[in-house]
Every structure is written in C-alpha cells, then in structure tokens.
Structure 1
Amino acid sequence: MTGSGTRSWWGWGTVEDAVRGAELRDLVDRASALLPGADLTDHPPPDVPSLGLPPPRIVPPDSLAALCSSDPTDRAAHTHGRAFRDVVRNLLGDLRHPPDLVVRPTVEGEIVDVLDWCARVHVAVIPFGGGTSVVGGVEPRLDGDFSGAVSLDLGALEGVREIDRTSRAARIGAGTLGPALEDELRPSGLTLRHFPQSFEFSTLGGWLATRSGGHFATGYTHIDDLVESMRVVTPAGTCESRRLPGSGAGPSPDRLFLGSEGVLGVVTEAWMRLHPRPRWRADASVHFTDYGAAVAATRAVAQSGLRPANCRLLDPVEAFVNAATPSGGGVLLLAFESADHPVDAWMDRAVELCRGHGGTLPEAPRRTAPEAPRRTAPEAPRRTGSAGDERDTDAAGRWRSSFLRMPYLRDALAARSMIVETFETACTWDTFDSLRAAVHDAANDALRRAGATGVIACRFSHVYPDGPAPYFGIYAAGRWGSTVAQWDDVKAAVSEAILAAGGTITHHHAIGRDHRPWYDRQRPEPFAAVLRAAKSALDPAGILNPGVLIGPVASAPDGPTSS
C-alpha cells in the first residue's frame, strides 16, 4: 500500500488506477482497428493462493526475523519487475523464482547485518527499490548455487533528510519514491527535476543503481548529472564519497556504483544537486510531412545549444497511436523552461530552425509566465488517473497524457494477448537511418516468424548534439500462452540488429538479466575484468544480485542454510 493507492502485485502501479470503463472500451476499440482480427479476450490475474509458491528454504536469525516477511502476496509482488514479459508471466501464474523472504531494513545498520548473515549462509540478496525494473533486474533468477534468496526492500530508507539551500543540494534516503521526494522539496522552492516514466513508483536508489534517464530530453537527462555524493553499503564495508561540485582526484567513486545495479553494494542515501522550480515555460508541436526532414530539424535543435526541456520526435506511427495525431512525417514536441528568465527567444529560435526544414505549427507556441496558470509544460507527474487533462487537446498534450498512462494501457492489452513492449537505444546521428531500418527489418521478420502481425513505432526519448536515443514500441496481436516466447524472439532479433548497427543495448533501461547476452558483447573486455575484480573485492561471497552485469565470481562457502 502506498500513500496514493494499493499496489498491484502482478502489474503496473495501483489497483485503483487500472484501465476500466470507457477508457478500457476505447482502448479495445483502438486495438481492434489497429489489428483487425486480433483475439482480445480478457485474461484476469490469478489469485495469489492459487499460485502455489514453494515454502521458504531459509530461516532468518532471531535478530533479523522482525524485518522479514514470508507472506505469499509479498513474495509474489517481489518476484518480477514490471516489463511486459513479467506482467504476462504473472497473469499466467508463472512465478518460478520467488524470493524466499522479503526483508525490509529500517536503518543502515540492519542492511549490514542482513549482508553479514546472507554471506555466511550463501543466500542471494536482490536489492529492491520500487520494483519497476523492465530488464529482470529484481528477479531472483540466479546465477549460481544459493541456499535461498531474499528481496531487500529499501522502501523504509526514505525521506529528504537535509537540505543545503546555499549549495542547492539535499541528502535523500535511497528508498524515497519520486512523488514523496518532490513533495518534501517543494516548500524550499527547489526540485530534483528527474522524472522518468516510472516516477510515481520508483525510488532514488533505483535511479542511481540503474543510471536512469529522466523525462527531459536534453541537459540533465541522466541521474549521473545530479549526484553530488553517494553512500553505499557493501559486504566489505561502507563507501561514502565527499560532497564536491567536481573533482579530478582519480576515478570517481560515485561512477563505480552508478549503474552497478546492486551487484557491488546497496545505495542507502545520496546528496543530490537541486534546481529552483521553473517559472517561465513555453511548448509547441511542430508537424512534418517528411520524416527525414523531421529528423534533420530535431538534429538542428539538438546541436543549436538551446537545450530544450522537451525535444521528442514522434514518428508517424507513434504520433497516431499515442497522440491520436495523423502525420505524414511525424511530430516534434518542443518545450522550454526557466526559473530565471522568459524563454520566448529560445522557443522562437527552435521554431525557426524547424520551419527551415519544412515544419509547420497548427497552433502557436503556448507561453506561461509566472503569474499565469501552468498548462501542459513538463512537471512532476502526480496521480495518473484514468482520464486525460481537459486541456490536452493538441499532440503534445495528448501524447503526455498517453505517456503517463502507457504502462496501465500495456497491462490491459497484455491481458488480451497483445504484445505491447518497448526497447530503446542510442546512436550517433550519422548511423540513425541505418539503425532504424535494421531494427524495423529485424522486428518485422521476427513477428512474421512468430506468426504475429503488428506495427513498430519510434520516438526520440532524448537527444544529444551527437545523436538521438530512439525508443521503439511494438504493438502486435499474439497468441495467449505464447506471447512471452513471441516477444523474446522479437527482442533477441532487434537486440542483435541494434548491436550490429553500432547502437547501445540500452540508453536508460539498465542491463538486468535480460540484456546480459548483448551487454557482455558491448563492453570492452579489459573493463569486464575490472568489474569482476571490483565484485570480488566488495562482495567476496558473490551474494549481491547474482547474474546481473557479470557472472559468478565466488564459490559458495560451506555453512548452514539458516540461523
């Protein structure tokens, strides 16, 4: 239970916000129109008692027993993340690797005690924040022979603990959820302004451990840019970096743990750089008749130094499916914001660049001054609800409303045999055209082999001067009971295509267990050796999130499986 609703054990978000009523009827109608002949029979989730989870294999010591839960619903909710394949497996009652216990430490010292116990009896420890991983990062699908597995839920390590207004930074517990973080910062007039799509249900610690990307398309897009210092508990000791605006003193300790996905240590808190809350905003939707021209316009804006808060290019399929906007060449969503000055000049110049590439604006840019009410410019997502904002009448507003509801919509379609999933990458501008073509070919071929019909959408989630981060979506009619296997075939095919075309296996979704085969090929081997050495030094028993990032580095010690 969160402060805003009851978390679903099997799918995204809260039970109260699931798709139902008119929204569900409209969704099913649109899916039928997109994929005629698809079998959209509903398959409700099973009751937890019917899952038949195996009994826990381990017994905690008395000193830790109060922190541990073996409740079946608790264990079920911590078995998978929230990727499409996770949701479908939950719907099918396929929970093969549940944690034996869910452990909820309340203070840092209890984490030390849990790691000591687990190292002694060779129990795997899976750090768990909000559970929103889409790459198998929190699933106890283990590499190695362990006596058991615990899900280390860090939700109790929450709260903004200290604010340094002079330096504009705050010390924040790793278990703090996105909305609570922003609520606690709001009275100070400051904001972290890191809004991933999972914002409502993900934690600061999860963002740090996975090097998450925020909602904003340029500038401070990755959580890395916002870290001032971190505190991490490892089996070998606690590591805390010094608070500094920058340092050239050797390799950065923080960079070792950022993106380490819990295999080197458990993030407990961090000092994060903050921003004053924006007061001026402007947003616009630019339409194109040619997709190549739309890409060129987006590149021009990305390389202009204007640094828009939003610079998302929707291809024609994405514009139609998720913004209900027909477009021959796509739609570019632009937004600027500032706490210090009006942003009209920046917006005007960006629009000028787009018009130079054939872009048109059905509506003039909307501009928000401090004294005017906010309209649809980017802001921290609040409750997602089941209906769009009544002001969301243009492509940007409709897409933003859809963006916040996408995971709920995906769950509803997944329960109706649809294959609805995304994958993302990043590449340089000179390779984008060939990468996109290769991905489309690979996905279409895989869908054809799987006997599924569907469409492929693409948007830029982030843009840089030297390249975009293309974010692809698959919408296909599958066969109930086979959709996981069908998706796995598509995922493997597009992952091969991405690596062959020079892209990264992930821009911001992390590696987890699902991306390991391609990550192992992407990373340089000398770096892999360094990562294995760091793992051996910090986690000698090899208990932390086994199977993520690297393979086993330690053998199981002799010892009992309980006490």
Structure 2
Amino acid sequence: MPPRRMKFWGWGFEGEGATPEERTAVHKTAATKFGATTFDDTPPRAEDYTLRAPRVAVPQALAGFCSSERLDRLVHAYGKSFIDSVRIFERRVPNPPDVVAYPGGEQDVVDLLDWAASNDVAVIPFGGGSSVVGGVEPVVGDAFKGVVSVNLQRLDKVLEVDKASRAARIQAGVLGPQLEAQLRPHGVTLRHFPQSFEYSTLGGWIATRSGGHFATLYTHIDDFVEQVRMVTPRGVWESFRLPGSGAGPSPDRLAIGSEGALGVITEAWMRLQDRPRFRAGTSVGFRTFEDAWGAVRAISQAGLYPANVRLLDRVEAHTTGAGDGTADVMVLAFESADHDVGPWMARALECVRDHGGTPDMDQLEATGGHREGASGAWRNAFIRMPFFREILTPLGVLFDTFETAITWDRFGDFHANVMAALHDVMRRECGPGAIASCRFTHVYPDGPAPYFSFYGKGRPGGMVDQWQAIKHACSDVLNRLGGTITHHHAVGRDHMPWYEKQRPDLFAAALQGAKDAIDPSGVMNPGVLLPPKRQTASGAATAVR
C-alpha cells in the first residue's frame, strides 16, 4: 500500500480530523464566546491554489526519488502553526518548494546535497512537517535558484537493537508510532512522546531538541541520544557511540537542535527503557495558583521524578474540561518498569497537602487512575486540540500558544508580567472576550516551563497581523524578563529576532564558523539559526552576518 499522505491544510493524515461531536462542540463554543456564526470550514482542495512553476529541475540521476507534483509541493509548503493555517485557508502559498525529494537511503541524501551545494539550491529537511515556528517553510532569501524539501519518510527502520546496552540504531525518518511498534517486540521503548508523536519523526525530534510528554527527568530528546549520524554538504558527520564522554565539546550536541541548518540527520543510536508495568495517577485541586506552583516546586526538588506533574491554571483546566474553573489543577502521575510507585506517589501527596492541595483519591484508586477524571480529560484535550485549529481558523477564531522556561526565584513576578502583557495585547487586538491561560509542561528542580495559550476573535483578512502583534508583544516580554524564547518548539524562522538577542554574540560567531566549515555554500535551511546568505548588487552571494 502507498504511504499515507499528510494533509496540506490541517493536522494529521488525509481522512483524519475532528469527530462530528467535536466539530459540533467547537462550533458551539466559537459562536458563544466569539460570535463566530459562519461555519464554513470546508477543507481546501489542491486545485484551489495557484503555485509558481518550479524554478529548478533535478538531474536525471536524482529524478527517481524527486517530485514536483502539486500535492507534494503543497504538503511541504508550510508547517502547522497558526499563521500557516490562516494562509492555507486564505489560499496563499507564495513560496512552495520547487522539488520534494524522498531519498531511499543515505547515498541519495549525499548525492542530493552534492547537487544542491553546487547549484545554489537551498535544502530544507522535512520530518513530519509539524513545525509551529516556520522551521520548514521555504522562505530562504533571493540568493538561491530554488528550494528542495527533503522528506526522509522512506528511512523508517529500527536497524539494530542492543539489549545489553538498552539502545537501538534507528533511521531518522521513522514516525513515532512506527518506531514504538518496532521496539515493542523487544520489550523496550524510547519513551519520548511529544504532542506531535503520531506525525513527527525521530530526525525531527533530534533536529529541534524536541520536548516529550513526560514532565521531569527525561524531558528532552537530548537525554536519549547516544550517537548521531548526519550528512552535510562537506561529508558525513558521525560521533563515537558512548554512554558518556569528557572528550571536549560533544559533536552530538551540535547536531541536536541544529534544525537542518548544518545537515540532514539520517540515523541515530538512541537510549531505550524497559516498558513500564507499574502506574499511578490522580489530579489535585488548589485554592490559589501560588499554592499550586509551590507544591510543584516541592515535588520537583524532592527527587521523586514523576512522569507527569502538569499544572493547569483554572482557566486552562476549564477550557480543557479538566476542571470547572474554580480551582487550579495539578495532573500527577508516576510509572516504572521495575517497582511499585506507591511510595513515590504517597510522598508527592504529602508535598501536595503541605501546600493546601486536595487530591482526588477516587481517581487515584481507580484501575486506570492516570487516565481517569481530570487527568484523562486533560490528556484527551491535549491530543485532540491540534485537529480543532482546522475548524477554528476558518471560523475566524485566533488560537495559539507560546512557551518558555524560567527559574523558580523569578517565576512569581515573571508569570504576573507575562500574563499582564498577554491580556493587554489580546484586548487591543481581539477586543472583549479573549481568553488567556497558563500551564506547566515540564518541571525542573530549578524552575518550570510555563506554556501560555490564548483565544480571541479574529478580524477577517487581518488574523496574520493580529497574530504578529501578539507574538511580538509576548516575545518581547520573555526577552526582557530573562525567559527563554522557546523551551521545546525550536527556533525556526518565527523566533529568530528574539533568539539572536538571547544567545551570546560570540556563540553566534562560533556557530556561523561551524556552518561555514560544513556548509560553505549556505544551502542548508537558510534563515534558520543563522541569517541566510544574500545576493549582492553584482549578483554574487555573500553570508549575512
């Protein structure tokens, strides 16, 4: 059977989407809260779009795994951010890739990069296309003759499993469910479950420093990478496979988070875990948000390492069905492959009660307590939410998120100032009725990763401008208060202005030096992590510094 094709206009694969019941509920909410009564959310068709003709053609030697078909170009024209959704529904695709490549092996990638680097053709690695920060959009400046998007979906195998070391060598194009299905017969799991798990790849997780679903200890893909193999325009980059090393700066750490700006990750050795057998979970209500995050801090500093310790403010809890809006809610869960987690849960609940929290003991005692009650409601909303954007966008409802991380000593003032800035800009841009909320996605002993969500009424034809105003206001306040511009969504093109302020100037120069060494033509994902090269008056291309 041919592989399933991703939707170019929404979340997931063709044929997937919100259920009729979910659509009815979203329509009702949009009408009640935002006055959206025109329910024309008919999916776009490929023939609705006028695409510019491909500007380059690959040589015959590469043609067997490359395509310039309309649907391939549409799928690879955008990621899955709010403004990507707006532009798709407005039938605006000004920068489609000229060619989409589906290499069948690493040599195909080598040959493709050789051709691209020799012919001023930009190369954008494309995993599952779930970027929400402009990381895969073919906007590369005017110094290139064309753009090729590289989709590694054919490199989708677990090649080796080392049970003694509990590790596996895995190709970068494998989607999350395919990866876990191949590991399951061996009794092991990668245990990395981002929200985009079903629609994103191992290579994408590594390239973007993906954050998984689990809230403590092993939070980012970094924790699982044992070795990376990456094809660059100057050759193959591969480190030793080791459990740890003090031999200078780690070559893997330069590949992790490189976002395709240095090369194409083709495979990696990944650390695995035994599949969990013991689980316990519940939810906890709090009278105040300060009490709630005090309890989260206590748990994070107690060395208990829960699988989940999400904190939802009362607005977030109400919006997702995890609460009635009268209390802030903690979603708390433990799991282990080795031992009963009851003692860990008991100690966590002591921390909770010390801060005035009220656990749901009925949920805790239920067989599937980690997926019951408020915990189950939040989990379901978390997984299903991306499908709702393809309904909300054509209804004229603006909905997006941003995330960051900050140390505990600064969190109280930080949260107050960010929420004030978000409420202020939402009132200006969206008028009355706008909704803003906060939750914790990940937690560390030295600080949380707050995640902010917002909904508001969109202006017909003006939602991109509204989004940009909100994005700029909130990103500016993150920079000013010392929070990171992104905790787990990567930099892409959308975060570049604030990333350049966050990183040290000397580090930027060092990163540019690394790119010059392994990508001297600057063809790898131009404009991501570093400015793209530009066209001079004489027609020669130079690097922007």
TM score, norm. by length of structure 1: 0.92
Q: Is the 8 A contact 1:170 1:273 kept in 2?
A: yes
Matched ranges for 1:296-307 at <5 A:
296-307=294-305
Q: 1:548 and 1:170 mapped to 2: Cα distance?
A: 30
Structure-2 separation of matches of 1:141 and 1:236? 23
Distance 1:54 1:79 in 2: 12
Q: Does 1:159 align with 2:152?
A: no
Query: Who is 1:513 aligned against?
Result: 493
Shift of 1:365: 5.1
The answer to which of 533-542 and 35-44 deviates more is 35-44
- Where 1:526 maps in the other structure, the secondary structure is helix
Residue 420, structure 1, aligned to residue 399, structure 2: yes
Q: Report the residue type matching 2:183 in the other structure.
A: L
State the match for 1:128 in structure 2.
Answer: 126
1:434 to partner: Cα distance: 1.8
Q: 1:488 to 1:2 in 2, by over 3 A?
A: farther
Supply the distance in 2 between the matched residues of 1:122 and 1:225 (Cα, whole angstroms). 36
Figure out how many residues of one structure are paired with residues of the other and give that number: 538
Hey, what's the Cα distance between the residues in 2 that align with 1:291 and 1:136?
Answer: 33
Residue 460 of structure 2 corresponds to 480
Q: 1:553 to 1:90 in 2, by over 3 A?
A: closer
Match of residue 411 from structure 2? 432
Match of 1:457 among 434, 437, 461: 437
User: 2:522 matched to which residue of 1?
Assistant: 542
Please tell me whether residue 409 in structure 1 is matched to residue 408 in structure 2: no
> Deviation at 1:237?
1.1
CA RMSD of aligned residues (A): 1.8
Deviates more, 1:19-28 or 1:38-47: 38-47
Provide the rounded CA distance (Å) in 2 between the counterparts of 1:452 and 1:146.
42
Does the C-alpha gap of structure 1 residues 451 and 165 become closer, same or farther in structure 2, counting only changes over 3 Å?
closer
CA distance in 2, matches of 1:150, 1:16: 27
Quote the Cα distance in structure 2 between the aligned partners of 1:166 and 1:502. 43
Cα distance in structure 2, aligned partners of 1:451 and 1:413: 15
- Please say if residues 287 and 327 of structure 1, whose CA atoms lie closer than 8 Å, have aligned partners that are also in contact: no
Deviates more, 1:392-401 or 1:96-105: 392-401
Counterpart contact for 1:83–1:135, Cα < 8 Å: yes
Equivalent residues of 1:44, 1:91 under 8 A apart: no
Q: Deviations over 1:245-265 (max 9, x none)?
A: 000001000001110101111
In structure 1, how many angstroms separate the alpha carbons of the residues matched to 2:343 and 2:186? 29
**1:72 matched residue in structure 2:** 70
CA distance in 1, matches of 2:437, 2:84: 22
Specify the alignment match of 2:61 in structure 1. Answer: 63
Question: Which deviates further from its counterpart, 181-190 or 141-150?
Answer: 141-150
Match of 2:368 in 1: 375
Measured against aligned partners, the alpha-carbon deviations of 1:285-326 in whole angstroms (never above 9, x if no partner) come to 000111110111111111110000000000001100012411
Q: What are the equivalent positions in structure 2 for 1:87-166 lying under 5 Å apart?
A: 87-166=85-164
SS in 2 for 1:366: helix
Structure 2 counterpart of 1:493, from 470, 473, 478: 473
- Give the conservation status (yes or no) of the 8 Å contact 1:313–1:331: yes
Q: 1: distance between equivalents of 2:184 and 2:513? A: 42
Q: 1:282 aligns with which of 277, 280, 283?
A: 280
Following superposition, the deviation at residue 6 of structure 1 comes to 4.8
- 1:105: Cα distance to partner? 0.7
Structure 1, unpaired ranges of 5+: 369-373, 378-391
CA-to-partner distance for each residue in 1:263-292, whole Å, 9 max, x for gaps? Answer: 111100000000000010000100011111
AA matched with 1:500? R
After superposition, what is the alpha-carbon deviation per residue over 1:109-144, rounded to whole angstroms, capped at 9, x for unaligned? 111111111111100000001000000000001134
2:140–2:532 CA contact under 8 A, matched in 1 = no
| Consecutive aligned runs of 4 or more in structure 1 exceeding 4 Å deviation | 553-559
How far is 1:558 from its partner? 7.3
Task: Describe the shift of the 1:526–1:36 C-alpha distance in structure 2 as closer, same or farther (beyond 3 A).
Answer: closer
Q: How far apart, in 2, do the equivalents of 1:558 and 1:367 lie?
A: 69
Work out the CA distance in 2 between the residues paired with 1:9 and 1:36. 27
CA contact (8 A) 1:190 1:274 kept: yes
Aligned to 1:383: none
Task: Give, in angstroms, the shift of residue 362 of structure 1.
Answer: 3.1
Q: Distance in 2 between matches of 1:210 and 1:139?
A: 15
Structure-1 residue corresponding to 2:229: 231
CA contact 1:419–1:475 (8 Å) conserved in 2: yes
CA shift for structure 1 position 327: 4.0
User: 2:34–2:397: 8 Å Cα contact kept in structure 1?
Assistant: no
What SS is found at the alignment partner of 1:350? Answer: helix
In structure 2, what residue type is equivalent to 1:82? K
Letter in 1 for 2:527: G
Structure 2's unaligned 5+ residue stretches are none
SS at match of 2:64: helix
Structure 2 CA distance, aligned partners of 1:31 and 1:349? Answer: 42
Q: How far apart, in 1, do the equivalents of 2:223 and 2:478 lie? A: 26
Q: Within 2, Cα distance between the matches of 1:2 and 1:402?
A: 31
In structure 1, C-alpha distance between the alignment counterparts of 2:380 and 2:323, rounded to whole Å:
13
Separation (CA, whole Å) in 2 of partners of 1:541 and 1:417: 42
Shift of 1:8: 1.3
| Closer, same or farther: CA 98–68 of 1 in aligned 2, 3 Å | same
CA 1:28 to 1:363, structure 2 compared with 1: closer, same or farther past 3 Å? farther
2:27/2:39 contact within 8 Å kept? no
Paired residue type of 1:22: E
**Equivalent runs, 1:8-47 vs 2, <5 Å:** 8-33=7-32, 35-47=33-45
Which has the higher mean CA deviation after the structures are superposed, 237-246 or 8-17? 8-17
Cα displacement (A) at 1:477: 1.4
